[in-house]
Amino acid sequence: MHDIIPDIHGQYDKLVAALTGLGYRHIAGAWRHSNPARTCAFLGDFIDRGPRNADVIHVVRHMLDAGTAIALMGNADKDGNERTEVRVKWWNSNGENWADVTMSVPDPSALPTSPLPKNITALAYPETSKPVLFGHYWMTGTPRMQSPNALCLDYSAGKDGPLMAYTMETGAPFSLDRLQRFGA
């Protein structure tokens, strides 16, 4: 079983609330679950906006060293650069125009209104593909499935939103019932 935690952005207090709420305890220098087979999978962007970047790195590093977590690097962890372009809704296989397949658009009226070119629609993640959990999209509002097999876990913890966590069991179908929110 894995607890998937995305985009912490230096929000140490939210991270500790999430780990505690998921049943982890700080033991022998690292956060550990009472079930030794249960681990965290961090989806990057550990630092960048929050007040306690070093503390977040300390927690994650010690969990990695203890074998109670795995981690992926995010863009904020690698180079600190912010995105300046639109985000693509790669999971939307039903998009018909640019407004359907983009978000975080500085000026939506600048998007073409013509139908999407076939080479763009062909890149959508098929609903028949394996389920995927992801972060990095700064969602807001009530969490929802992006498609039957895609779920964003980033609900803007680096700003005023909650830190989300998804508890995944091998072979279990996606369900919003497995999604928990911590802080904000």
pLDDT digits (tens, 9 = 90+) for 132-143: 999 888 889 999
Question: What pTM, to 2 d.p., does this model score?
Answer: 0.85
Alpha-carbon distance 43 to 77, whole Å? 11
Q: How many CA atoms lie within 13 A of 128 on its CB side?
A: 0
With a cut of 80, say whether residue 81 has pLDDT above it. no
Q: For residue 147, which of 174, 121, 181, 166 has the smallest C-alpha distance?
A: 174
CATH 3.40.50.720 correct for 2-81+130-182? no
With a cut of 60, say whether residue 157 has pLDDT above it. yes
**pLDDT category of residue 179 using cuts at 50, 70 and 90:** very high
Average pLDDT estimate for 158-172:
91
Q: Where are the domains of the chain?
A: 2-81+130-182
